[in-house]
């Protein structure tokens, strides 16, 4: 058997995608013009699938901070946090994030993926119990493979499903750790966190919340779902990323546990990879200041979410269950999703396409992510384009308007 | 009808309340009354949509191979079975289960240990 034989099925399905047109998984951004526009296939394209919720990738103050840091400290640290890769700036960043959440401790990782992978797999071990939401991100599933703890899934966003699993554990020994997400990355829905926290308290379970998509977007000061639902003090661990709202790359975990720092010499994804380069640390520190100083970005984001979500809903598209910075548009199957995606790209709009097995319940989605920097006109245009394509492809009904909505090649 | 697992007469299944002796049946606890047949039936009910062609689903059916079900759908089915039979099957245990028989045995073992 050849090394790639086990992927035969996937190769076959992938060939179908590649031979019929543009490959949604190999799009090249030829030139990025702004948080909302890039050149793709030689033409200017509206970006509505970049997780760049506040549009900070081109924030002048963040860019200047990064440039300055490169001049002062060079391009990379060439070492891990436990060797030569801890600069004063890494420590300052950790202090600032801890202070932002009002927690005592923070560890910064090179990606959010590594934060989840390392923290979750290290917090629980042999004899412990890890309970995860069925729609958890890949980084959480991968952490499950790395721990000796017993892992049980509960139904997505269903506190009673979690409760029955905690109840069944009875008086079995071992710690219990429950993993939740602030905003789920495919459909943009939020966890009923208050209810979940109640259940966890009742059964003495620890709570870890991944605020990857909710940092900046939720809460009065942008701290995420923990803040907006008033349970910041009840969440033992909060994980997040710098790769979305903060416009860079990196991950973090904050906690009040007095022994938290022991993770610095036990979490392998922290110990055995190089630390973030100075430029990233500098731009993230500045981005965090911007998040605190400019709450209007949060309002702009949600106004834009309403424009897109309500606009698409009014045309009859089937969407995720609630407003969120991620707007997931349901399509009947994989090839239709890819066809729809290609038609949108031809019309000058880029979104993500998400198909099984990367999606919950085997659904096929166009995954749109909204940016505070989008103009209402850009999003209204997108609704028109999607309405036209949706009618052409028979995804939505309704009398076609007498105008051409799809762009020409 | 005798229980194929224990050979004892089947008083009732959770699906169909075949009550042969009212007084006794009502005092018995559900755990003892869930039979292997109940479990197999429930598994087959969940797997039916994934049947490949005409081949029937039997105890020896290899779930991930002989059917059209993907790994995520298997995990979702397990979640339904967990709630139906009030047991939790850890993911590492699920990974070791290949056939319908093994899945049924796992559920029955976990029920017995409760
Ligand atoms: C829920 C969730 N957690 C973690 C991550 C990982 O983030 P990063 O890009 O920092 O690795 C992502 C990003 O895809 C995510 O959606």
The string of pLDDT tens digits covering residues A141-172 is 999 999 999 999 999 999 999 999 999 999 99
Residue B84 sits at the vertex; the CA angle it makes with B80 and B86, to the nearest 5 degrees, is: 110
- In contact, A90 and A281? CB cutoff 8 Å: yes
* A169 contacts B90? CB cut-off 8 A: no
Select which of A236, A244, A323, A374 is catalytic.
A244
Q: Dihedral angle at the C-alpha atoms of A156, A159, A162, A167, nearest 10 degrees? A: -160
Q: Do strands A31-34 and A37-40 pair parallel, antiparallel, or not at all (unpaired)?
A: antiparallel
Chain B residues with CB under 8 Å of A151 CB are 90-92
Tokens of A186: 């495919």
Domains and CATH numbers, chain A: 19-48+295-392 (3.90.1150.10), 59-293 (3.40.640.10)
- Burial class from Cβ neighbours inside 10 Å (0-12, 13-18, 19+) for residue A221 reads middle
- In contact, B54 and B47? CB cutoff 8 Å: no
Q: Is the pLDDT of residue A56 over 90?
A: yes
Nearest alpha-carbon partner for A178 in A187, A195, A188, A186: A195
Residue A29 φ then ψ, to 5°: -80, 105
For the question of residue A145 being annotated catalytic, the response is: no
Q: Atom 10 in ligand 1: which residue has the minimum CA distance?
A: A112
For residue B61, how far is the Cα from the chain centroid?
A: 14
**Percentage of chain A surpassing pLDDT 70?**
97
Chain A residues with CB under 8 Å of B71 CB are 357
Q: Hey, is A209 helix, strand or coil? A: strand
Nearest alpha-carbon partner for A333 in A17, A12, A11, A7: A17
For the question of residue A330 being annotated catalytic, the response is: no
Instruction: Give pTM, 2 decimals.
Output: 0.90
Span A324-336, mean pLDDT?
A: 96
What are B51's strand-pairing partners?
Answer: none
DSSP structure string for A217-265: TSSTTS--HHHHTT-GGG-SEEEEESSSTTSS--EEEEE--TTGGGGGG
The DSSP output letter for A315 is T
Q: Is the pLDDT of residue A17 over 80?
A: yes
DSSP structure string for chain B: -B-TTT-SB----SSS---SSHHHHHHS-HHHH--HHHHHHHHHHHHGGG--TTPPP-TT-BHHHHSS--HHHHHHHHHHHHHHHT----HHHHHH--BHHHHHHHHHHHHHT-
Report the nearest atom of ligand 1 relative to the CA of A181. Answer: 1
Q: Is the CB of A241 under 6 A from ligand 1?
A: yes
Residue B83 sits at the vertex; the CA angle it makes with B77 and B87, to the nearest 5 degrees, is: 100
pLDDT recorded at residue B104? 97
Chain A residues with CB under 8 Å of B86 CB are 164, 168
Partner-chain residue, chosen from A165, A168, A362, that has the shortest CB–CB distance to B72: A362
Q: Hey, is A43 helix, strand or coil? A: strand
pLDDT digits (tens, 9 = 90+) for A212-260: 999 999 999 999 999 999 999 999 999 999 999 999 999 999 999 999 9
Span A364-384, mean pLDDT?
A: 98
Q: Is the CB of A110 under 6 A from ligand 1?
A: no
Any CB–CB contact under 8 A between A156 and chain B?
Answer: no
pLDDT recorded at residue A197? 98
Domains and CATH numbers, chain B: 14-113 (1.10.1200.10)
CA distance A159 to B105: 28
pLDDT recorded at residue A186? 94
């Amino acid at each position: 058997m050849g090394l790639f034989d086990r992927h035969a099925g996937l190769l076959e399905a992938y060939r179908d995608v590649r031979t019929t047109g543009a490959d949604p998984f190999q799009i090249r951004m030829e030139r990025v013009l702004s948080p909302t526009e890039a050149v793709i296939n030689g033409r200017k394209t509206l970006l509505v699938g970049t997780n760049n919720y506040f549009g900070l990738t081109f924030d002048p103050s963040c860019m200047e901070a990064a440039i300055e840091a490169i001049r002062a400290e060079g391009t990379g640290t060439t070492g891990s946090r436990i060797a030569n890769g801890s600069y004063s700036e890494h420590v300052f960043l950790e202090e600032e994030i801890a202070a932002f959440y009002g927690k005592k401790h923070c560890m910064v990782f090179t990606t959010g993926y590594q934060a989840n992978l390392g923290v979750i797999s290290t917090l629980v071990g042999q004899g412990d119990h890890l309970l995860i939401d069925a729609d958890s991100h890949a980084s959480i599933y991968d952490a499950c493979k790395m721990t000796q703890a017993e892992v049980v899934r509960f139904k997505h966003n269903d506190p009673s499903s979690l409760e029955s699993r905690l109840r069944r554990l009875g008086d079995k020994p071992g710690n219990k750790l429950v993993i939740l997400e602030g905003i789920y990355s495919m459909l943009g829905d939020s966890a009923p966190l208050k209810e979940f926290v109640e259940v966890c308290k009742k059964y003495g379970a620890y709570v870890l919340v991944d605020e990857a998509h909710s940092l900046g977007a939720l809460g009065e000061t942008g701290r995420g779902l923990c803040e907006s639902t008033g349970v910041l003090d009840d969440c033992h661990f909060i994980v997040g990323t710098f790769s979305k709202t903060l416009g860079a790359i990196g991950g973090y975990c904050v906690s009040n546990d007095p022994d938290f720092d022991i993770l610095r010499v036990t979490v392998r994804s922290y110990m055995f990879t190089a630390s973030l380069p100075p430029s990233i640390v500098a731009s993230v520190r500045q981005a965090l200041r911007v998040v605190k100083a400019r709450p209007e970005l949060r309002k702009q984001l949600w106004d834009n979410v309403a424009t897109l979500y309500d606009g698409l809903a009014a045309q009859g598209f089937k969407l995720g269950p609630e407003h969120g910075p991620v707007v997931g548009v349901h399509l009947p199957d994989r090839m239709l999703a890819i066809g729809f995606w290609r038609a949108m790209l031809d019309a000058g709009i880029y979104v993500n396409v998400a198909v099984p097995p990367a999606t919950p319940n085997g659904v096929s989605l166009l995954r749109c992510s909204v940016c505070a920097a989008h103009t209402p006109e850009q999003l209204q245009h997108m609704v028109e384009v999607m309405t036209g394509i949706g009618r052409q492809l028979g995804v939505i009904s309704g009398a076609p308007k007498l105008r051409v909505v799809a762009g020409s090649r | 009808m005798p229980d194929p697992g224990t050979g004892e007469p089947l008083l009732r299944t959770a699906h169909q309340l075949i009550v042969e002796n009212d007084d006794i049946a009502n005092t018995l606890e559900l755990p003892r009354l869930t039979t292997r047949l109940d479990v197999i039936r429930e598994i087959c009910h969940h797997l039916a949509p994934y049947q490949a062609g005409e081949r029937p689903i039997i105890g020896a059916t290899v779930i991930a191979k002989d059917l059209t079900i993907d790994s995520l759908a298997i995990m979702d089915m397990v979640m339904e079975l967990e709630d139906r039979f009030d047991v939790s099957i850890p993911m590492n245990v699920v990974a070791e289960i290949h056939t319908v028989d093994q899945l049924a045995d796992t559920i029955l073992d976990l029920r017995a240990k409760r």
